Amino acid sequence: MAEMSEGAKKAEKEVKATSEKASLAQEVAKMKETQLELFHKKTHQDMINAAYKAAEKLGIAPWVLIRAAGWGNFTEDRGAMYKGDHIADIETLTDEQKGALMGVFGMMSGWEKIKKVK
């Protein structure tokens, strides 16, 4: 049986890596959809409380995180349901801030997967 050339081996590895990344991307998309449904069951007050806990972990003032997330107006209607983006999709948050918030919601393993497909 003939051996594969170095070029063929490299191409096979690239195909496998691409396939694995596509599979992970699909898994992450489905996971984020489920997580977003969970976020949308939270009230503005729940999100404020999470920001306070995450800020404590980060050693920053809670309002820094609340404003960075664009949640400054949440105090006006604390009982309203959250209708915003997935935490991972809030571009004004740093990865560290996103990770801290995801951790507060018990979604740290999901955050690790999300970072892999960025």
pLDDT tens figures, 8-45:
677 677 777 678 889 989 999 999 999 999 999 999 99
Count CB-CB contacts under 10 A for residue 88: 22
Domain layout of the chain by residue ranges: 6-116
Please state the pTM of the whole predicted model.
Answer: 0.81
pLDDT tens figures, 39-59:
999 999 999 999 999 999 999
What's the rounded Cα separation, in Å, for the pair 68 and 53?
A: 15
Expressed in percent and rounded to 5, the helix, strand and coil fractions of the chain are 70, 0, 25
What's the rounded Cα separation, in Å, for the pair 29 and 3?
A: 38
- Crossing angle of helices 44-58 and 95-104, in 10° steps, is 120
pLDDT mean across residues, the chain: 91
